[in-house]
Each structure stands twice: as structure tokens, then as C-alpha cells.
Amino acid sequence: MKLRLFGSYLAVIFGSAMIACGFNLFLIPHRLLSGGVSGLAMLVGYFTPFNISLLYLLFNVPLLAAGWFQLGRRFIILSILSVGATTWLMTLVPVHQVSSDMLLASVFGGVLVGVGAGVSFRVGGSSGGFDILGSIITRYRDFPIGNVLVGLNGLVILAAAYFDNNWNLALASMVSIYVSGKVVDLIHVSHIKVTVYIVTTRTDELLQQLLGLQRGVTKIKTEGAYSHVERDMLMTVTTRYELAELKRIIKTSDPQAFVNIVETVGVMGSFRKR
């Protein structure tokens, strides 16, 4: 477990390095925007004397604090690590224009940021910012997190076009955000619902942990067709954001449990209500 956790920390730091390089080597030299809170930090940093890395950290603090109470603890700890590492690495990586072509910079900057964010998602965290806000919102409203993030990012882009009076920068920033989102999807699809069936002999131990994820769990009595041994089957519906944490709980509580994970087409009822 400690080795796996250490691996998750290393993955998040690697992702943060990709994000910092995408910002300082491709996006910031051309005054382009990334998506989410980082884009908001860049927008403010371009028109004020404040440091972008510091703004990135400050804007993330209230969202991380809100996420601590609303989302899983491990998710937020990894997100805090990602935000902190990105802030620190942005101070180490020099702001240097690698490509003089704005469109190429937007594409490759988007790729690096997408890889960094996708790696963080893959190990059960996030790169902070609007990802956390979107996760909180979608707990209470039944629409995909992608729609939330697109709307929030759109507002940042419109603000950039208005203040800079340069639609070329705004359109190139849209390209960067689009590419970043596609790369994230290739690494980790962020909002697919899954149904998890767990056949276990350690029902109480598992339930104590699973109910902490704030998702409903149904307990079903089962009997093995060959062995005629009675066991409990726990069924829960969750999202890809929470699946890594769910797998960790199962492996820790009952390594011998039989687990079947199925992609879910749709859910009716109070799936997102706490």
C-alpha cells in the first residue's frame, strides 16, 4: 500500500511537471490561456503585476478547502499535491518561448497540460481548479462534468477576448483547451458512470469504508451455484473520478473479493444527492 501510494505521489508530481512546462514554455510566452483556474490566473497575471504561479495557488486554495468537505479525502490530498507541485515547478521552469508559432504553441501546450491533468486523474486525483468545482456541482445536478467545465472555461476565454481585444489569442486559447481536454480523455475518461458488483465475505468492513464515499450501496444475499456458500454482494454506482479510491478500499478491506465493474449507460433517481 505504501509503495502504491508513493507511486501515486510520483505520478502526480510528474503530471505537475508536464503542466508547468506547458504553461511556461508554450502558453504564457504567447499570452495564451489554459482552462480552469490556471486560465483565470493567467488572465489576471497578464494585466496585473502579480505572479501567475502565486495567483494559481491562491485561486485554488478556496476550491481545495471546499473539496475537502465535499469530495473524497484521497482525491483532495492528491489534488493539493498537484497544485502545490505545479506552483513550485512554475517557479523553477523559466518562461521561454519554445515555438514562435502561436497555433503550434497552443497545440503542444494543450498536449502537455492534458497529459499532466490526465495522469493526476488516472491515479485518483485532479489538477485542482474547476475540476474540483465541477465535481462538487455535479453531485447536486445531473449533468456531465464536461459541460460544467466547458461553460466555466468559456467565461474565462470571453473575458480574455474582451480585456485583450484580440480574438486571435482567444481562439488559439480555445484550441489549447480543446486539445488538452481530448488528451485527458485519452488518458482518463473523466465522467463515465460505472456499476461495481462486489462479492465478499467481509461485508461490514467493506460497508464501513464504502459508505464514506457518499454513494449508495445495495446489499444482496447470494449463493454460489457450485459451492452453495452464502455470501453478500454489494452493488454501487460511482464515477471514474471515484473508481480509483473504490478499488483501493476493496483491495485493502478484502483482497479476495470478486469484483465486476460495468460501464453504466444511465442512472435514474437520486444518484448525485448525498
Q: Over its length of 274 residues, how does the chain's per-residue pLDDT go in tens digits?
A: 677 788 889 999 999 999 999 999 999 999 998 877 888 899 899 888 999 999 999 999 988 888 887 776 777 888 899 999 999 999 999 999 999 999 999 999 999 998 998 888 778 777 777 767 766 666 666 555 555 666 777 788 888 787 777 788 888 988 888 888 788 777 765 457 889 999 998 999 898 888 887 788 899 999 888 888 889 999 998 877 678 788 889 998 899 999 999 988 777 766 654 4
For residues 168 and 207, membership in a common domain is answered with no
User: For the whole model, what pTM was predicted?
Assistant: 0.69
Total Cβ atoms within 10 A of residue 204:
9
For residues 142 and 65, membership in a common domain is answered with yes
Name the residue range of residue 109's domain: 1-189
For residues 100 and 3, membership in a common domain is answered with yes
Beta-strand relationship, 217-223 and 230-239: antiparallel
For residues 76 and 116, membership in a common domain is answered with yes
Contacts of 49 (CB under 8 A, 6+ apart): none
**By the 8 A CB rule, do 236 and 215 touch?**
yes
CA distances (Å), origin 190, targets 69, 146, 249: 21, 8, 20
- Looking at the structure of the chain, the number of domains it has is 2
**By the 8 A CB rule, do 19 and 116 touch?**
yes
For residues 133 and 183, membership in a common domain is answered with yes
CATH number at residue 231: 3.30.70.120
